[in-house]
Amino acid sequence: MHRIYLDHNATTAVDPAVLDAMLPYFSSDFGNASSIHTFGQRARAAVETAREQVAALINARPQEIIFTSGGTESDNHAIFGVALSISTSPHVITTTVEHEAVLNACQALEKQSVAVSYLPVNRDGLINLDELRRALRPETVLISVMHANNELGAIQPLAEIGRIAAEADVYFHTDAVQSAAKIPLDVKALQLDLLSLSGHKFYAPKGIGALFIKSGTRLRQLLYGGHHQRGFRPGTENVTGIVGLGKAAELARVSLEKDAARMSRLRDTLEQGILARVPDCRLNSANAPRTPNTSNILFPGLEGEALVIALDLKGLACSTGAACSSGAVEPSHVLTAIGLSASDARATVRLSLGRHTTESEIQAALEIIPSAVSHLRKLSPTYHTM
Residues 91 and 205 reside in one and the same domain: yes
**Which residue range(s) make up the domain with 264?**
4-11+255-385
Cβ atoms 46, 238 nearer than 8 A: no
Q: What's the pLDDT at 226?
A: 80
pLDDT (mean) for 334-344: 96
pLDDT range class, residue 385, cuts 50, 70, 90? low
Tell whether 219 and 287 lie within a shared domain. Answer: no
Residue ending a domain, choose from 210, 233, 251? 251
Mean pLDDT across the chain: 94
Instruction: Give CA–CA dist 307/349, Å, rounded.
Output: 8
Do 317 and 214 lie in a common domain?
no
Report the C-alpha gap between 360 and 368 in whole angstroms: 12
How does pLDDT run across 42-100, given as a tens digit for each residue? Answer: 999 999 999 999 999 999 999 999 999 999 999 999 999 999 988 788 999 999 999 99
CATH code where residue 202 lies: 3.40.640.10
| Together in a domain, 121 and 196 | yes
**pTM greater than 0.85:** yes
Domain stops at, among 182, 216, 251? 251
Task: Identify whether residues 309 and 334 lie together within a single domain.
Answer: yes
The catalytic position among 106, 281, 318, 324 is 324
**In this structure, are 214 and 291 located in the same domain?**
no
Regarding whether 271 and 224 lie in a shared domain, the answer is no
Q: Any idea what the CATH number is for the domain that residue 296 is in?
A: 3.90.1150.10
Question: Are 138 and 51 contained in the same domain?
Answer: yes
Q: Among residues 193, 218, 251, which one ends one of the domains? A: 251
Annotation says 318 is catalytic: no
Per cent of the chain over pLDDT 90 is: 87
Nearest to 150 by CA among 9, 270, 13: 9
pLDDT on residue 381: 76
Contacts of 77 (CB under 8 A, 6+ apart): 68, 211, 219, 222, 232, 233
**CA angle (355, 19, 31) in 5-degree steps:** 145
